[in-house]
């Protein structure tokens, strides 16, 4: 066992000393995963944020907010009839967040003075936490933008002040002094609004600017706000990707594992052609030790790639793991399968040129049709059928199941069995082929 | 110590080794002398057990064939190629092989070897940055890492500068004095003449003759050449007894110069194979 560990340690050290192998095994897959994540809708950049909007309120205040939200160039708004539909859209990754204007949003100053504020709800995909702050800020701004409109609408304001007087009269918790002050405040407001020359209010642009400024000062005031935006994160869901990164990181795995095959198959061929393999064979170890050492190093590096990539998806991009234990099983079997494939390529390639050309080329092709470049579900049907011939496809399927699909256990068996079979076949043929060239 | 009996090996239509036999005694430096492609490296590969002979027998230390791992552990090989890892440092390379051989106190052994091959100051440098001579010395150190009784050195001075060559030859002499049995292949006659107790002349996979350099010269070197100058005239005489011939020439008189050329391994090789060693 010591000999196997010594051999594996040497191969891992060699892998990490080779900048090219480190790049193609660890860095390139990560970059690719991140890039594809953004390409397939991970957000970022300056493009409009996709929002779902549900207006449950019949108030003119809600109409105003909905209209402003739809016109805002920061957002691409899709309107839904119910909050369930909107939430489902977030869950499916079609939109970043759902904004709900609840039925409790009424035209009146009750909430404003009662401390509850104008209620607005938002449901956000946790993988888009970066956008959550922006959305929340915008909703505050839009709510504030409605106040000048309310104050310049005489009929509306009369209704509001009448309602406010009634609320003050009926409020039991107020002290006489507070009641007097509140009544005075309403009266002053009424006097102020009746004195406004409404003909001068042509456009809401200056008012909007003032509202934006008010919003900023209110936000900075912090303690009290007439707008109550409640943001909830979507709970872990099943059946669909939380974000495009759920798809892109398993894609990255494909390239990481391809890098492992390239590095280790190449290393066996290089050792054979440069004579170090002969020197190793002279040591008092068996062929089994030699091949086990190589296989172990490849297995460990494949496992490391898998753990690194999925960890990055979870930590940096908000992905969550539906079935951790089964994901570990998928990692182990994929690493085993690809160690076997590395042996197969090493056994079939006799020269460094063959390993670098035909070996890496073949692996590249299999990676591409196995979901390395285009996610499997985006593929046209004929390509999807072809993908069954690629070991990479089975890795994607085996990893996605316990990662984000939350696939029932029974459905995870097939890809895992296929991966185990690929490993056994790869090791069987590869080891046999390498042994025939070793000659002892 | 090491016995090869009637070894034969073919690669397709090419006969690499054709009934080669040799016996190397304990503490002996045995030279296998022959041109490139004579079958020296193939014979060594068979001697290590790395390559199976088509027929014949190999015995190491009376323990049997080195295809057996425990027998093979008494053997050290410095192959003709630099069979080390260019991306690892000198120390990492030696430590790796020491651990692979299960050497007790591997770190101390590695430091000893680095000192022996005079590479302590470069111990932490990757060997990809080494000169050819330094790589050769480390290649030799890797063969010594488990302190083997029998050492097979396959052209250990190929392609190195004269300074490194002298260091390697000195090291081989030191190892021989320490009691190692050494088989040394080369196509440099002067190296073989300098360090080998016995030399075997190999060509076309066959052992043509074995003996000390003096014995081989006596058997195959032919006569010495005595060149006598009288004024502008040179006379070249081949003789088995150069002293007698020089005495005779001086007795004739008028001698202005004498040059005696004794036969060497080159002449031996020419006599045995009909061609020069450097062809």
User: Long-range contact list for B192-196, CB < 8 A, 24+ apart?
Assistant: B192/B31, B192/B33, B192/B265, B193/B264, B193/B265, B194/B169, B195/B29, B195/B31, B195/B169, B196/B29, B196/B30, B196/B31
Predicted confidence at residue A368, as pLDDT, reads 83
Alpha-carbon distance A271 to A276, whole Å?
5
DSSP annotation string for A305-360: HHHHHHHHHHHHH----S-HHHHHHHHHHHHHHHHHHHHHHHHH--SHHHIIIIIH
Predicted confidence at residue A372, as pLDDT, reads 77
pLDDT, tens digit (0-9, with 9 covering 90-100), for A22-63: 887 788 778 877 877 777 664 444 467 888 999 998 888 888
Alpha-carbon distance A84 to A52, whole Å?
11
Q: Which of A65, A440, A353 is nearest to B45 (CA)?
A: A440
Predicted confidence at residue B49, as pLDDT, reads 87
Query: Bridge-partner residues for B150, per DSSP?
Result: B75, B181
**Confidence check: pLDDT of A369 > 70:** yes
Task: Report CB contact under 8 Å: B85, A275.
Answer: no
Residues A147 and A211 sit within 8 Å (Cβ to Cβ) = yes
Question: What is the H or E stretch that residue A50 is in?
Answer: strand A49-55
**Confidence check: pLDDT of A283 > 80:** yes
Predicted confidence at residue A330, as pLDDT, reads 96
Question: Helix, strand or coil for residue B21?
Answer: strand
Predicted confidence at residue A337, as pLDDT, reads 94
Alpha-carbon distance A10 to A276, whole Å?
12
**Any residues with CB less than 8 A from the CB of B136 and at least 6 apart, and which?**
B82, B156, B157, B158, B159, B160, B164, B168
Predicted confidence at residue A373, as pLDDT, reads 74
Nearest CA in chain A to B140: A279
For chain B, residues with pLDDT lower than 70 are 277-279
Predicted confidence at residue A185, as pLDDT, reads 79
Task: Report CB contact under 8 Å: B77, A2.
Answer: no
Nearest CA in chain A to B67: A440
B112 touches chain A (CB under 8 A): no
Mean pLDDT on A283-299: 87
Predicted confidence at residue A300, as pLDDT, reads 94
Mean pLDDT of chain A: 79
DSSP annotation string for B187-242: S-HHHHHHH-SEEEEEETTEEEEEE-HHHHHHHHS--EEEEEEETTEEEEEEES-H
pLDDT, tens digit (0-9, with 9 covering 90-100), for A222-265: 444 567 778 787 765 555 677 788 888 888 888 888 888 888 88
pLDDT, tens digit (0-9, with 9 covering 90-100), for A161-172: 777 778 788 777
Confidence label for A137 from pLDDT (cuts 50, 70 and 90): confident
Question: What is the H or E stretch that residue B174 is in?
Answer: helix B162-177
Q: Which of A93, A26, A391 is nearest to A399 (CA)?
A: A391
Residues A271 and A23 sit within 8 Å (Cβ to Cβ) = no
Q: Which of B59, B49, B52, B50 is nearest to B21 (CA)?
A: B59
Q: Which residue in B75, B81, B142 is closest to A274 by CB distance?
A: B81
Predicted confidence at residue A153, as pLDDT, reads 67
Query: Bridge-partner residues for B8, per DSSP?
Result: B18, B55
Predicted confidence at residue A60, as pLDDT, reads 81
**What ipTM score was computed for the predicted complex, to two decimals?**
0.79
Beta strands in A166-235 (DSSP E): 227-233
Question: Helix, strand or coil for residue A40?
Answer: coil
Distance of CA B178 to the CA centre of its chain: 17
Task: Report CB contact under 8 Å: A10, B88.
Answer: yes
Confidence label for A148 from pLDDT (cuts 50, 70 and 90): low
Distance (Å) from the alpha carbon of B26 to chain A's nearest alpha carbon = 21
**Confidence check: pLDDT of A149 > 80:** no
Q: Which residue in A3, A276, A283 is closest to B85 by CB distance?
A: A276
Which fold would CATH assign to domain B2-212? Rossmann fold (3.40.50)
Question: What is the H or E stretch that residue A177 is in?
Answer: helix A176-194
Among the ranges A93-107, A344-358, B84-98, which has the highest mean pLDDT value? B84-98
Chains A and B form CB pairs within 8 A to the count of 67
Strands B181-186 and B29-33: parallel
A337 to A382, A386, A432: CA distances (angstroms): 25, 19, 16
pLDDT, tens digit (0-9, with 9 covering 90-100), for A377-436: 667 778 888 889 999 889 988 998 899 888 888 888 999 999 999 999 999 998 888 877
Q: Which of B23, B73, B44, B28 is nearest to B176 (CA)?
A: B28
A406 burial type by CB count under 10 A (0-12 exposed, 13-18 middle, 19+ buried) = middle
Chain A positions contacting chain B at CB under 8 Å are 2-3, 6-7, 10, 13-14, 17-18, 274-276, 278-286, 439-440
To the nearest 10 degrees (0 to 180), the angle between helices A244-274 and A28-39 is 160
**Confidence check: pLDDT of A277 > 90:** no
Using a CB-CB cut-off of 8 Å, the residues of chain B touching A274 are 81, 83
Structure tokens at B216: 């081989």
Residues A330 and A402 sit within 8 Å (Cβ to Cβ) = yes
Distance (Å) from the alpha carbon of A20 to chain B's nearest alpha carbon = 13
Mean pLDDT of chain B: 90
Residue of A9, A20, A284 to mutate for B, most B C-beta atoms under 10 A: A284
DSSP annotation string for A244-291: HHHHHHHHHHHHHHHHHHHHHHHHHHHHHHHSHHHHHHHSS--HHHHH
Predicted confidence at residue A240, as pLDDT, reads 64
pLDDT, tens digit (0-9, with 9 covering 90-100), for A151-196: 666 676 777 777 777 878 877 777 888 788 888 877 877 776 666 5
Question: Helix, strand or coil for residue B48?
Answer: helix
Question: Helix, strand or coil for residue A86?
Answer: helix
């Amino acid at each position: 066992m010591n000999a196997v560990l010594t051999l594996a340690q040497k191969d891992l050290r060699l892998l990490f000393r080779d900048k090219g192998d480190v790049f193609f095994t660890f860095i390139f897959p990560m970059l690719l995963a991140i890039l594809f994540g953004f390409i397939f809708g991970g957000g970022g950049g300056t493009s409009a944020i996709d929002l779902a909007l549900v207006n449950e309120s019949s108030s003119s205040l809600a109409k105003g907010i909905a209209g402003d939200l739809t016109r805002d160039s920061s957002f691409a708004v899709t309107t839904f009839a119910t909050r369930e539909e909107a939430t489902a859209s977030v869950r499916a990754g079609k939109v970043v967040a759902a904004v709900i204007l609840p039925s409790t949003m009424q035209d009146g100053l009750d909430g404003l003075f009662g401390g509850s504020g104008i209620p607005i709800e938002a449901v956000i995909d946790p993988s888009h936490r970066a956008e959550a702050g922006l959305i929340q800020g915008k909703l505050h701004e839009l709510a504030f933008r409605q106040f000048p409109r309310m104050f310049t609408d005489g009929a509306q304001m009369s209704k509001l002040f009448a309602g406010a007087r009634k609320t003050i009269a009926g409020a039991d918790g107020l002290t006489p002094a507070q009641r007097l002050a509140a009544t005075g405040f309403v009266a002053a407001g009424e006097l102020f609004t009746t004195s406004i020359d409404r003909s001068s209010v042509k456009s809401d642009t200056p008012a909007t600017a003032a509202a934006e400024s008010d919003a900023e000062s209110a936000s900075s005031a912090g303690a009290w706000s007439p707008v109550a935006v409640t943001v909830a994160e979507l709970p872990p869901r099943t059946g669909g990707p939380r974000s495009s990164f759920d798809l892109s990181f398993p894609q990255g795995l494909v390239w990481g594992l391809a890098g492992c095959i390239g590095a280790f198959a190449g290393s066996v061929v290089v050792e054979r052609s440069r004579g170090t393999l002969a020197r190793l064979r002279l040591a008092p170890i068996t062929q089994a030790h030699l091949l086990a050492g190589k296989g172990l190093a490849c297995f460990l590096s494949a496992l490391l790639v898998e753990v690194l990539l999925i960890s990055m998806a979870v930590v940096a991009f908000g992905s969550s793991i539906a079935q951790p234990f089964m994901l570990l099983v998928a990692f182990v079997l994929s690493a085993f399968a690809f160690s076997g494939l590395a042996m197969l390529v090493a056994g079939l390639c006799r020269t460094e040129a063959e390993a670098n050309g035909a070996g890496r080329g073949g692996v590249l092709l299999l990676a591409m049709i196995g979901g390395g470049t285009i996610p499997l579900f985006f593929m046209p049907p004929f390509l999807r059928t072809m993908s069954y011939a690629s070991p990479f496809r089975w890795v994607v399927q085996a990893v996605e199941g316990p990662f984000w699909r939350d696939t029932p256990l029974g459905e995870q068996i097939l890809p895992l069995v296929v991966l185990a079979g690929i490993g056994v076949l790869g090791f069987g043929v590869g080891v046999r082929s390498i042994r025939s060239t070793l000659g002892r | 110590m090491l016995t090869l009996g009637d070894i034969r090996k073919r690669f397709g239509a090419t006969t690499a080794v054709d009934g080669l036999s040799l016996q190397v005694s304990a503490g002996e430096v045995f030279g296998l002398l022959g041109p490139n492609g004579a079958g020296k490296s193939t014979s060594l590969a068979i001697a290590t057990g790395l390559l199976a002979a088509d027929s014949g027998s190999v015995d190491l230390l009376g323990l049997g064939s080195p295809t057996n791992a425990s027998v093979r552990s008494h053997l050290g090989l410095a192959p003709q190629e630099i069979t080390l890892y260019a991306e690892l440092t000198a120390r990492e390379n030696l430590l790796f092989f020491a651990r692979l051989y299960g050497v007790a106190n591997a770190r101390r052994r590695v430091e000893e070897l680095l000192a022996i091959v005079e590479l302590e100051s470069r111990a932490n440098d990757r060997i990809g940055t080494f000169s050819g001579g330094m790589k050769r010395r480390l290649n030799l150190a890797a063969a010594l890492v488990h302190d083997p009784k029998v050492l097979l050195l396959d052209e250990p001075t190929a392609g190195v500068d004269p300074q490194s060559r002298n260091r390697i030859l000195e090291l081989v002499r030191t190892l021989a004095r320490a009691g190692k049995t050494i088989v040394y292949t080369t196509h440099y006659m002067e190296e073989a003449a300098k360090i080998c107790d016995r030399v075997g002349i190999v060509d076309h996979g066959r052992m043509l003759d074995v003996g000390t350099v003096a014995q081989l010269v006596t058997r195959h070197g032919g006569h010495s050449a005595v060149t006598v100058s009288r004024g502008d005239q040179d006379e070249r005489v081949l003789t088995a007894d150069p002293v007698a011939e020089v005495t005779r020439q001086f007795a004739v008189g008028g001698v202005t110069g004498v040059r005696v050329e004794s036969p060497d391994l080159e002449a031996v090789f020419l006599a045995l194979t009909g061609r020069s060693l450097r062809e």
